[in-house]
Structure 1
Amino acid sequence: MSTSSFLPRPFPLGPIGLAAVLLSGCASVKPPGAMAAAPASAAAPAAAQAAAPAGAASGAAAARPEPGAPKPFDEVVKGATRQDGFFPVWRKDEKTWLEIPAERLGQPFLLSANIASSVGERGLYAGSMGPSWLATFRQVNRQLQLVALNAEFVARNPAMKATVAQSFSDSLLASAALASAEHPQRKSLLVDASFLIVDLPAYSTQIEAAYRLPYGLDRANSSIETVRVTPDLTTLNLRMHFATPRIPVPPLTPPPVPLPAPPATLPDARSLFAGFVYNFAALPEPPMRPREADPRLGHFTDVVTDLSDDLKVNPRTYRVNRWRLEKADPAAALSEPKQPIVFWLDRNIPPVYRQAVEEGVLEWNKAFEKIGFRNAIVAKQQPDDADWDTLDARHASIRWFTGADAGFARGPSQTDPRSGEIVDADIMMSDVFGRGARRVRVETVGALGGAAPAFATPIALPWSKAGGAQCDYAEAAAHEMGFAVDLLEARGELAPDSPEVEAFAQAVVRDTIMHEVGHALGLKHNFKASTVYTRAQLQDAEFTAKNGIAGSVMDYSPYNLALAGEKRGALVNTTIGPYDYWAIEYAYKPLEPGQEKDELQRIAARSSEPLLAYADDTDAGGYGGGEGLDPLVNRFDLGSDPLEYYRRRLALSRELWQRVQERQPQPGEDVTRQRRVLLSGFSALGVSTALVGKYVGGMQTSRDLPGASGGRPAYQPVPPAKQREALRFLADGLFAVDAFRFKPQFLASLSPDYREWTRGGPVSIPAAVLQLQTGALDRLLSPGTATRLLELPLYLPENERRGIISLDEVIGTLQKAVWSELRRGGDIEPMRRNLQREHLKRVQALLTRSAGPLPADAVSLVRLAATGLQAELQRAAARPGLAVETRAHLQDSLVLLTEALRASFVRG
């Protein structure tokens, strides 16, 4: 997405630029290597001397050049080759100069910095879009400054324009001394382009975030490799070297928070190269007419604070990010566009996937045809001998990339901040989607902890937009794929190298490209779209072939897996959904200026239609510290009843475990296959268990605007019966030991790959089970859940409060389920003891106020329940005939709980 509207701004200055900033107030000191500015009285004669033709000077004026005067333009570039264009470039041997035409000095343009090559792990991947700015070149005496203009605060009247300019600063990106006098005829300026060998995208910050090591830019071993110039674009490809003096020795005592390991993909972890692509692009003229965003739909926006007057309560305006799309024939009901949206398929896409990629791109034309555009989107293949990089600012693209830990795709774009017009987009597609579907990928399976393999989530730089820029089908998506393929292979529905697995791989790629192209067209995630179809519809092959499996491809949809013996619909989305048509209509429908406001309101007013359900990343939780309120807004759920989906997911995991235990390993197959499949079943449950807890204290949400006809309430408590149903599912399904029993001989057969130096030991089933259970415990015992349960009655009329679920009921139900052995007697199994310890840890934290801002009433209720638990532990510990492990566990738990109650009482 566009990075021009993010509040924090980087300050990636090179040595020259940094020195210029630090020393700008000191007249007696100049930046290293910079030319001293000539006195004002001498500037004009010096310029005239420099511009005079050779041999034309006479008398005193030609006696001797002014001391310190700049060299003539033509003398500096003598023997160099000029490439004419937006900013002309001169090249000679290893030298490169940038010419700044007089008419472009002080004029804004679009500057972007993309990442062409990188490390291949920990969020540092090739083909990444970086930041962009509304920028300009400024001349300050003999210094040329590259300045990022502050486009976030604007005013229309002259007085407020001056106020805004004084109140909100621009940012200096880089600077250098002029390399010569201005050109005698063109009056253009010349600067050594090496001043751009600076870290414009602040990549060193991202490297440090990945490894917690101070890698710095090494200018001496960085260079400008290639240059491409057109009338509206100048592009420089740079090879940048980052280094750190030494890799520190790991501490003898492990720190409380584990430190990330040094780079694992480099021959020498102290040194790495990254490829940068700097684009200087002409602004679209005239600027596109902005379109105001509506909160009932999800579009990426450029946010501008308009301070022209003080009448608006909220001066912020939200401009929809969209491509400029105009009919070639405005009078025609269906017309070709004047300029289509063109996506270039990079030459690095494997040929076997190019057709699926193209189909995913062109699928969106269905939505544009509904609003009068034929062939609004075009897909083109980059020739193998092309002399341009698809990361330049004039080629929207789809690029393949690989990473040692990468399992995601991303569809960012960059915009003109004056209007919200999307001017470039570069979609990244990880090969894990193809390889994962083909089962070529061999996962590094967990060690004793039983954890599933982790895929690094890309690290968000300070200016990253909420949600959109971080569209990663990361860990969860890769595990979803692994689980689906493992189950289908176990059933015999997929076989390696079969036509079926080939079709599956192509469908996965096509579905993913549809999602990312949606982002590149300006659409945010929609995490409510997966709930618009019923289970019966999802099992209908004809229905899902026509409509897909969700109301939008902008959701994170799991694979549509049927239980054994059930009918099965399409596994993945086959087409864009009804929400996608609606969102495209709002952003792109051609509208006359006088009718636009009313027509947009009419379009947005359809938000109450069931098939157009919408909610974004923040609604789903897990972003910015939020935990999400609405159990219908989730990543990786499917169907109109998410709770039923979670039950089915547990049944599917059990089926997979049963099949893998019955299957006999075959000679020559991957030695970790059985181990991987076992853990795949656990990873498939990892997301679901925490999401079940969203029902308890949950609030169904609506985005209807105030005063809308038939408007729904913004917050509606989840029905008490549904909340209790979720609690029972956790107690009977997740906390029960019988759900996770495995044959001893099967567990004993789970061999690691002994060829690897780093390999796991025996798989710990108790650890894997506990990892699932703690997610549910954390949700149910969180301060947020407690607060909502205490406040739910305030959202209901008096006559609807009967039977409402209370915080006391939730605490009591959870405690009874976790400690059920205390009432029925007998020994406690090891996995149940693990669960009880984790529950007790959380009760301790709540009593001692170390778990966050728990409401006072909640603390009192937790203490009341804990006092009852203390009495039960005392009675249970006194029973004769218990195994020594059970007796020790009960006594230890009683001591810990008593200490927590005593500490809580003293604190109170």
Structure 2
Amino acid sequence: MPQSPSPAARPGRRGPVALSATLAATLTALVALGACRPTPSTTPTPQRPTAGGANTPTPATPAPGTPAPGSPTPGTPSPTPGGAPAGGLPAGLAGLLGGAGGAPGEPSPRPYAMVVTPGARTTRGLLTTHQLRGRLLFEIPAAQLNRDMLVVRSLRGSQQPIGGIPGTTLAGSRLVRWERRENRILLRGANYQNVVGDTTNAIVRALDIIAYAPIIAAFNVESYGRDSAAVIDVSRLFLGGVPDLIQGVPGGAPDPSRSFIERVATFEKNVEIEASQTFASSPLGGATAANPLAALFAAPRGTEVYHFSIVRLPDVPMQPRLFDERVGFFNTTQADFGTREQRVARRTFANRWRLECSDRKEGNLCVPRRPITYYVDPATPAWLVPWVKKGIEEWKPAFAEAGFADGIVAREVPRDSIGILQGEDASVSMVRWLPSASENAVGPSTVDPRSGEILDADVQMYHNIMNVLRGIYVAQVGHLDPRAQKLPLPDSLMGRLVQNVVAHEVGHTLALRHNMKGSSMYPLDSVRSKTWTARMGHSPSIMDYARFNYVAQPEDGIALEALIPKVGPYDRFAIKWGYAPLPGAPEAQRVALEPLVRMQDTLPWLRYAGDEGLQGADPGEASEAVGDADAVRATALGLRNIRRVAKLVEGASTATPGETYADLRELYGYVVNQWATELGHVARIPGGLAKQEKVVGQPGEVWTPTSAAKQRAAVAFLNEHAFRTPAYLLDASILRKIEPTGSLDRIGSAQRRVLNVLLDNGRLQRMIENEALPEGAPVYTLGAMLGDLRRGVWSELASGAAIDPYRRRLQRTYLEVLGAKINPTAPAVPAGVPAQLVALLGAQSAPDARALLRGELVDLDRQLASAVGRTSDRTSRLHLLDARAQIDRILNPER
């Protein structure tokens, strides 16, 4: 989950609960896979061609204990034992691994006893594994050929920090199948992005044109075991010799003399392998002129231990549930070419765990055949273990509303299983505790692409998440909680804050997306009610970023527990929609669920909106907000509390004599950041439209423009509270302890954040379009908004008053922001940067608004010329003259 940016680097995506950057969020999307016992489903599986193609027959299976038909006589020596290595494998690695590669010429299987010698360490399960003399052999039964399996790669050991890019220990996954072709085993990729649901449709014959399964690696059959199980040497798969195994993961050849397979464990439905890979150091990290970003994704330098899980997908796919835009679930999409629709049909399933009723009941609740089970990482600090378990099981009441007794459970790893039950294993879902300085946590999961079934999930808690939690808690509600008025926070309070993050991340692994809409769905007065917040919380969803109740006033008497978010009514509604057991096909289930979803029309706190952050059109989808049903009033209350907290910061952070003022610097930064964040919620109101997801046949519109009066009031509020110097944040006692200079930059940067939100290009364009639509209601035009802003930022021009240094900094910033929009320049990015990333960086342009922005500078220049003569303060007069010169450069860049 995104994390609330620290004062040093805000804003971001994954506040005390997830990754911040879009790029990092993308790289952390895949996780280790856990095997569930399959149960029959009535839904037919969309058909894909076999690995070799739609019309490729499955190769014949040889008789037990004998080579395949047409193979050389057993015992005949191969020209190169096991076959020559595949092309492209480094010579040193090829020599070490011997018969690891597919080769030209016909492989020559040998007698079993010559290949699997008495010294081999053998384990049996999904695949039989043999370890001998540094090699790893797989014995693949015929029953496991052409079966979908997932290979999941994760980091097990490193000298590098985690939590940045790629951000987690997760290192990708790939769907594969083993296929036999004469005396070779092919490892082929597979996917279900393109399907033909109706296999009688003639187009199934053409699917291989876009869905042919690639060959990832080829292996010579070394021998045949019982029931003609093919024995192959797969060492190079796990020592870096097959860079295509996990797509999108950096390649690079390891040093074979320093790379080893460390551990192999085989189970009924999965095989777990750990391998040390040592890579040569590169001072440029793999970057080239053609691909300068390769340094970010290059193979790690030094020695890394990687864990590989190979898991067979369930024999029978789970009954899927059709995705509904009105409920926030992660989802899996297929393009179905086999329907009667006059287009390619998109089949989208909500991701879910397979949670099914057994024959037992507890009251009116069914006992699941297999509950959703999360283990607590044995590496978790002992004092936090109970809080992690509480965070997992905070979801129990939601599953009870969906009809399940103990639908989700938390367990500690038994003492005799520590080292065996590991978070990297695909059979184990775990809340992991990782030694990372990143102030973050994430909750990814791995799904069956055929149905959206969640197979495994591993929450990753970074140790330093506690630092950002204490900073935000003090900045938002330190004035209400005496426990937060001295650092360190007591264990009981920090434990409760950790529980909140665990519950949020577990929500992600249950497939729930962020619901930033939640915090704007309660009336503001309810957020201040001690009875309401005790029962409903201050936000209806723990999947929102409504951190702590910063709106609450001391006189409201809200309980300390109610200051912290909890699993709320939206979360219980979403779990019921996703997990309530329903009979029938997906289409029939969708009809049965429609009355539940329509409750959103009358209970607004059940509504969902996507994770759009600052770019969203709906002011009610603000991240890090509380009470934003009325963001102006909520922010006014929040600013009162910031004044109170600002007076407590020094005492809270200097409790221990002899310590430095590092804690004071950090806490003060959190307070300034909170000030800018709350004002940013008000800056989203102009040009805003409230959104409620709806479907055809549901009354009302999806988008409703914000009234002109509310938009005008928001700009007036910003002029008064954001663009006037906040003297209450400028405590000389604090500033002289933490820095010789910097307050101008600190306050100025916070004001720039608010100004950038207000003048966001999308907002400017929406205001122009709102003016163009003939709706009849009064419109707050872009011209009116820009004029109000100019008069607020430059209010001294009318009075002739002296302009203080903070206001001078703000006014220069105003000119810089407008100048960048009038004369946009493409971002400076090196050659080779992906086009998608360039688009994200985007030039600051608003072409439809440019004429109005230029007009504002022309009017401002006229005012400046008049004000210069009325200003008695010399510094202010010189500042105004410099501003005129800056405007001239903007309006006449060719000079």
Distance in 2 separating the partners of 1:653 and 1:137: 61
Alignment partner of 1:846 is 2:843: no
Within a 5 Å distance, the mapping from 1:397-412 to structure 2 comes to: 397-404=430-437, 406-412=438-444
Judge conservation of contact 1:347–1:383 (CA < 8 Å) in 2. Answer: no
Change over 3 Å in CA distance of 1:432–1:287 after alignment to 2: same
Letter of the structure 2 residue corresponding to residue 503 of structure 1: S
SS of equivalent to 1:600: helix
- The total of aligned residue pairs comes to 776
Judge conservation of contact 1:114–1:277 (CA < 8 Å) in 2. Answer: yes
Within a 5 Å distance, the mapping from 1:824-835 to structure 2 comes to: 824-835=799-810
Q: Which residue number corresponds to residue 221 of structure 1?
A: 258
Change over 3 Å in CA distance of 1:379–1:82 after alignment to 2: same
Distance in 2 separating the partners of 1:272 and 1:684: 41
Q: Which residue number corresponds to residue 723 of structure 1?
A: 711
| CA-to-aligned-CA distance 1:633-658 (integer Å, 9 cap, x gap) | 11111123233232333333222223
Q: Which residue number corresponds to residue 391 of structure 2?
A: 360
For residue 605 of structure 1, the aligned residue among 595, 598, 605 is: 598
Distance in 1 separating the partners of 2:264 and 2:693: 48
Q: Which residue number corresponds to residue 859 of structure 1?
A: 850
Judge conservation of contact 1:870–1:894 (CA < 8 Å) in 2. Answer: yes
Judge conservation of contact 1:234–1:281 (CA < 8 Å) in 2. Answer: yes
SS of equivalent to 1:748: helix
SS of equivalent to 1:131: strand
Segments of 5+ residues of structure 1 without an aligned counterpart are: 11-41, 53-65, 209-213, 264-268, 440-478, 752-761
Task: Tell which deviates more after alignment, 269-278 or 628-637.
Answer: 269-278
Within a 5 Å distance, the mapping from 1:347-386 to structure 2 comes to: 347-386=378-417
Alignment partner of 1:525 is 2:527: no
Change over 3 Å in CA distance of 1:739–1:789 after alignment to 2: farther
Shift of 1:542: 4.5
Within a 5 Å distance, the mapping from 1:165-176 to structure 2 comes to: 165-173=208-216, 175-176=217-218
| CA-to-aligned-CA distance 1:126-185 (integer Å, 9 cap, x gap) | 973443333102345655332220210001335322312222343444x25325133375
Judge conservation of contact 1:560–1:572 (CA < 8 Å) in 2. Answer: yes
Distance in 1 separating the partners of 2:369 and 2:758: 55
Letter of the structure 1 residue corresponding to residue 128 of structure 2: P
Judge conservation of contact 2:871–2:877 (CA < 8 Å) in 1. Answer: no
TM-score, normalising length: structure 1: 0.78
Q: Which residue number corresponds to residue 446 of structure 2?
A: 414
Judge conservation of contact 1:194–1:224 (CA < 8 Å) in 2. Answer: no
| CA-to-aligned-CA distance 1:376-434 (integer Å, 9 cap, x gap) | 11221112332232221111111111212x11221111111111111111111122344
Q: Which residue number corresponds to residue 76 of structure 1?
A: 115
Q: Which residue number corresponds to residue 74 of structure 2?
A: 49
Change over 3 Å in CA distance of 1:838–1:497 after alignment to 2: closer
Judge conservation of contact 1:204–1:215 (CA < 8 Å) in 2. Answer: no
Q: Which residue number corresponds to residue 20 of structure 2?
A: none
SS of equivalent to 2:622: coil
Q: Which residue number corresponds to residue 342 of structure 1?
A: 373
Letter of the structure 2 residue corresponding to residue 146 of structure 1: L
SS of equivalent to 2:619: coil
Task: Tell which deviates more after alignment, 127-136 or 72-81.
Answer: 127-136
Distance in 1 separating the partners of 2:431 and 2:195: 34
Distance in 2 separating the partners of 1:220 and 1:772: 53
Task: Tell which deviates more after alignment, 532-541 or 408-417.
Answer: 532-541
Judge conservation of contact 2:174–2:245 (CA < 8 Å) in 1. Answer: no
Change over 3 Å in CA distance of 1:201–1:742 after alignment to 2: farther
Q: Which residue number corresponds to residue 787 of structure 2?
A: 812
Judge conservation of contact 1:153–1:306 (CA < 8 Å) in 2. Answer: yes
Change over 3 Å in CA distance of 1:749–1:207 after alignment to 2: farther
Alignment partner of 1:105 is 2:83: no
Distance in 2 separating the partners of 1:536 and 1:191: 68
Distance in 2 separating the partners of 1:492 and 1:104: 58
Q: Percent identical across equivalent pairs?
A: 25
Shift of 1:850: 4.3
Shift of 1:805: 0.6
Task: Tell which deviates more after alignment, 530-539 or 777-786.
Answer: 530-539
Q: Which residue number corresponds to residue 559 of structure 1?
A: 548
Judge conservation of contact 2:260–2:276 (CA < 8 Å) in 1. Answer: yes
Change over 3 Å in CA distance of 1:824–1:86 after alignment to 2: same
Shift of 1:606: 2.0
Change over 3 Å in CA distance of 1:200–1:346 after alignment to 2: farther
Alignment partner of 1:875 is 2:858: no
Change over 3 Å in CA distance of 1:198–1:720 after alignment to 2: same
Within a 5 Å distance, the mapping from 1:705-744 to structure 2 comes to: 705-708=695-698, 711-739=699-727, 742-744=730-732
Alignment partner of 1:298 is 2:328: yes
Q: Which residue number corresponds to residue 91 of structure 2?
A: none
Distance in 1 separating the partners of 2:448 and 2:224: 30
Letter of the structure 1 residue corresponding to residue 578 of structure 2: A
Q: Which residue number corresponds to residue 811 of structure 2?
A: 836
SS of equivalent to 1:512: helix
SS of equivalent to 1:790: helix
For residue 123 of structure 1, the aligned residue among 151, 155, 164 is: 164
For residue 234 of structure 2, the aligned residue among 186, 189, 192 is: 192
Distance in 2 separating the partners of 1:714 and 1:628: 14
TM-score, normalising length: structure 2: 0.79
Change over 3 Å in CA distance of 1:205–1:180 after alignment to 2: closer
Alignment partner of 1:636 is 2:624: yes
Letter of the structure 2 residue corresponding to residue 551 of structure 1: P
Distance in 1 separating the partners of 2:255 and 2:340: 49
| CA-to-aligned-CA distance 1:592-625 (integer Å, 9 cap, x gap) | 116423202222222223344434444x335xxx
Within a 5 Å distance, the mapping from 1:29-48 to structure 2 comes to: 44=69, 46-48=71-73
Shift of 1:825: 0.9
Judge conservation of contact 2:270–2:309 (CA < 8 Å) in 1. Answer: yes
Change over 3 Å in CA distance of 1:106–1:650 after alignment to 2: same
SS of equivalent to 2:853: helix
Within a 5 Å distance, the mapping from 1:259-658 to structure 2 comes to: 271-309=301-339, 311-313=341-343, 315-329=345-359, 333-386=364-417, 387-404=420-437, 406-434=438-466, 479-481=471-473, 483-484=475-476, 487=479, 494-496=485-487, 501-561=490-550, 562-569=552-559, 570-573=561-564, 575-593=566-584, 595-618=588-611, 620-622=612-614, 627-639=615-627, 640-658=629-647
Judge conservation of contact 1:117–1:126 (CA < 8 Å) in 2. Answer: no
Judge conservation of contact 1:552–1:577 (CA < 8 Å) in 2. Answer: yes
Judge conservation of contact 2:135–2:233 (CA < 8 Å) in 1. Answer: no
Shift of 1:774: 1.0
Judge conservation of contact 2:148–2:313 (CA < 8 Å) in 1. Answer: yes
Letter of the structure 2 residue corresponding to residue 716 of structure 1: T
Change over 3 Å in CA distance of 1:216–1:815 after alignment to 2: farther
Q: Which residue number corresponds to residue 666 of structure 2?
A: 676
Segments of 5+ residues of structure 2 without an aligned counterpart are: 2-22, 31-66, 78-104, 827-842
Distance in 2 separating the partners of 1:378 and 1:186: 42
Change over 3 Å in CA distance of 1:385–1:776 after alignment to 2: same
Task: Tell which deviates more after alignment, 653-662 or 88-97.
Answer: 653-662
Q: Which residue number corresponds to residue 233 of structure 1?
A: 270
Distance in 2 separating the partners of 1:247 and 1:855: 38
Distance in 1 separating the partners of 2:276 and 2:140: 23
Coordinate RMSD, CA, aligned: 3.7
